[in-house]
Every structure is written in structure tokens, then in C-alpha cells.
Amino acid sequence: MATEHSRSAARMMMAPAVVLLLGWMLVPLMMTLFFSFKKYLPLRGDSMANGLDWVGFDNYVRFIGSSSFWPSVQATLIIVGGVLVITIVLGVLLALLLDQPMWGQGAVRILVISPFFVMPTVSALVWKNMFMDPTNGLLAHLFIFFGAEPVQWLSQASLQSIVMIVSWQWLPFATLILLTAIQSLDSEQLEASEMDGAPKLKQFWYIILPHMSRAITVVVLIQTIFLLAVFAEIFVTTGGAFGTRTLTYLIFQRVLESQNIGLGSAGGVYAIVLANIVAIFLMRIVGKNLDK
Amino acid sequence: MARAITNNRKIINTSAAWAVGLLIFFPILWTILTSFKSEAQAINDPPIFFFFDWTLENYGVVMERSTCASCGTR
């Protein structure tokens, strides 16, 4: 039993961590909000020391009014959606396959999980220079070998290429979580259904998939959080060209390339809003799933 | 009770899983292989898989260029 005394002691001991984490979250958020209402162009001589001009909602209006805003939201959603669909469909299939009895199961699992350990920048560089390069890339060699014209991946199918790279990175994560979900399924249920004459496909649809739904939900949630912030893959491969400018990348360009901190901060606030809209939608769908 | 699994089934599972596993691992394997190639052989057409002149040259260059060569002496 926790007494009043021990409870307040626990609070005291937690306080440093809570204060640190709260500060860690609130200080950058407050700074972003602060800058988003200011005119802050360091190259034009604006500085914190001289005081910044208050411009109200100018930055917000300009950020959303720019012709690259809606395409960037679209690109973000395509990347997040595309990667989610690919990783979950392939992840379920891979998890089913890896759950079967076989020789060298541990070794295969390590092979499948390995892409997750590669840093995003490195994997983007590897894919860009060694696979998707139209002259030296392995994919180009493969296409020529089969007598086809090599595709200029990153300029002709840029968004698809990035979805592919990011999917390669996140497939292991989905597979790993879904595999543990399948392993927790009681085999007696499957055997009972088999006795009743259920074909494999129906077993999958009515027993395995509902059993995995929670794990799928978790994968969707965690991946969405990380995929909204995909940056390195775009920076390294296309640099935001060919329609791959996501919202994150647009903010980066506003702040660091055009040196307009106020405008970028307004973009950051929009990104927070977008992430929350997506999160609310997901939570609605997911909440139904998790309550069961 | 668990059922006995036929060997045939196991062979199919094993080969399918290894094929997929190697396919997913391939970019990393290719990176490792290329790291042992010289510049000229790395961009050879057609690409060479195993029978190139294995060299540690690239690893030396990385160590030289990195500022960490003096880490121990500082």
C-alpha cells in the first residue's frame, strides 16, 4: 500500500524527469509558435537582439498560399499511405511465411530484419547510387539484360522510388511485430477450424487476420508517426525535386534555403496540425480496434 | 497436439523464406561487396559479383579522411 508520504516522495523523485521532458517538448514548441508570428529573415538583418517585428498571421497566410503547399501535403500523404499499404500487406505475408517450420529460421529472420539497422541516409545513398542509377545501377543492368530500356527511377518515378526505399526500411519493423502476433495465436483454434473443414483462405481471413488486427493497428500508428517526418531519404535522393517535396521538406527549404525562419515556423505549426488530424482519424479507427 | 510436418512442405517453406530473406538482405550484401572493390571495378559493366580483386583500400581512405585518425592522440 502506498501511503500519502511515500506517494509524495515518489512525486518528488519523478519531478526532475517530468520537468525535463516537459521543457524538452514545450520550449521548442513555444519557440516555433513565437517565430511563426514574427518576421525573421537573418540575411536581411533581423535578429533576436534587435527585436523582431510582429506580423500577425502573415506567415501562415503566405505559407498556405504558396503554390507548393498543397502538392507537398499530397506528396506527404502519398508517401505515408503508400509505405503503410506496402509494409502491412507484405509484412503480413512475410510473417505468415516466417512462422512456418523451416530450416535456418533464425538466420532467415535476421536477414529479413537487417534493413532496419541501416541508417536512413546510408540506405538512401545505397539505393540511389547502386540500384537506381540509370547507368551504373544494378536495376539498370537488370533492365538492359532483359532487353528493356533502363528507367530513370528518381526523375521519372521519383515518388514511387522513395516509397520503395522507405518501404524497404520499414518492412522489417512491420514483419517483426506481426510475426510476434501470429506466434501468440493458439494453434488449437486453427486445428478446431480445420476439423470443421475450413479452407486455408478462410482460416486466414476469419481467425489469423482478426487475431493480428491489434498488432496491425500498432504498426500503423507507430509507422505513421515516423513516416510523416521522412526527410533523409528525400534530401539524399531527389532534394525535393520531381514532386517529392513533402511538408517536412518544404519547411526545411523555407528555413534553411530561403532563410525565412518565420515562414518555416508557420509551416511547422501546420505540420503539427496535419499530424494531429491524421492522428485523430487513426485513433478513431484504432480505438475501435483496441477497445475490443 | 502439433501435427507432424512433411519434409516436402518444409523444403518448400525453407526455400521460399530464404529466397525472400536474401532478396531483402541483398542491398546490404551488395554494399558490403562493393566496399571491397576498387573504384574502377565498382562501376564495371557488367557488374562483378565475387571475382574481383578484393581490396581494403576504401577502408583506409575512410579512416584517413575522417578526423578521427587523431582521436587517440588528442
* DSSP string of chain A, one letter each residue: ---HHHHHHHHHHHHHHHHHHHHHHHHHHHHHHHHHTEE--GGGT--TTT--EE-TTHHHHHHHHSTTHHHHHHHHHHHHHHHHHHHHHHHHHHHHHHHS--TTHHHHHHHHHGGGGS-HHHHHHHIIIIIS-TTT-HHHHHHHHTT-PPP-HHHHSHHHHHHHHHHHHHHHHHHHHHHHHHHTS-HHHHHHHHHTT--HHHHIIIIIHHHHHHHHHHHHHHHHHHHTT--HHHHHHTTT-TT---HHHHHHIIIIIS--HHHHHHHHHHHHHHHHHHHHHHHHHHHHHHH-
Total of domains in chain B: 1
What CATH architecture is A66-291?
Orthogonal Bundle (1.10)
CB spacing of B25 vs A130 below 8 angstroms: no
**A97 contact B CB<8A:** yes
C-alpha distance from A172 to closest chain B C-alpha (Å): 9
**Structural domain boundaries, residue B27:** 7-70
Task: Name, in order, each residue with C-beta under 8 angstroms of A54's C-beta and a sequence gap of 6 or more.
Answer: A37, A38
Rounded CA gap, A93 and A27, in Å?
Answer: 43
C-alpha distance from B2 to closest chain A C-alpha (Å): 8
Let me know how long chain B is: 74
CB spacing of B30 vs A187 below 8 angstroms: no
Closest CA to A109 of A169, A175, A168: A175
* B1 occurs within a structural domain: no
* B2 occurs within a structural domain: no
**A39 contact B CB<8A:** no
pLDDT score, position B1? 43
C-alpha distance from B62 to closest chain A C-alpha (Å): 15
**A103 contact B CB<8A:** yes
Mean pLDDT by 10 residues, chain A (292 residues): 78 90 90 85 75 80 84 88 92 87 85 88 87 79 78 80 90 91 83 82 83 85 86 84 84 84 88 85 72 57
pLDDT score, position A290? 63
The three-state secondary structure class of B24 is helix
Q: In A, which residues are within 8 Å of B20 by CB distance?
A: 94, 97, 112
* B42 occurs within a structural domain: yes
pLDDT score, position A211? 82
ipTM of the complex model: 0.76
C-alpha distance from B10 to closest chain A C-alpha (Å): 5
Q: In B, which residues are within 8 Å of A105 by CB distance?
A: 17
User: In whole angstroms, how far apart are CA A189 and each of A84, A101, A265, B2?
Assistant: 29, 18, 54, 12
For residue A145, list its beta bridge partners: none
Residues of chain B short of pLDDT 50, as ranges, are: 1, 74
The domain spans of chain A are 66-291
